[in-house]
Amino acid sequence: MGKQRKTWSTDLKEAIVLSVLRGELGVAEAARQHGVNESLIHTWKTQFLEAGRSAPDTSGN
C-alpha cells in the first residue's frame, strides 16, 4: 500500500505562517515543531501573502 498524505487544517497552516511572519519562530523551528517540511511552510507563506494582496479594499477608498 502507498503512503497516505498528511493533511493540515487551514487554521493550523495560518497559525504556523503567522508565527513565522511575526518572528516568533523561524521557518526551520516551526517545521520541526509541527512536523512539516520547510518548503511547505514557504509555500503556505507565499499563498497567505498573495491572498492578502488580492483581498478587496474595505477601507472605503
pLDDT averaged per 10 residues, the chain (length 61): 83 96 97 96 95 73 58
pLDDT score, position 5 = 81
pLDDT score, position 42 = 97
Phi/psi class of residue 27: alpha, beta or left (left: φ > 0; alpha: ψ in -120 to 50)? alpha
Enumerate residues 6+ apart whose C-beta is below 8 A from 48.
13, 14, 17, 21
**H helices present in 1-61, as ranges:** 10-21, 27-34, 38-53
| Structural domain spans, the chain | 10-51
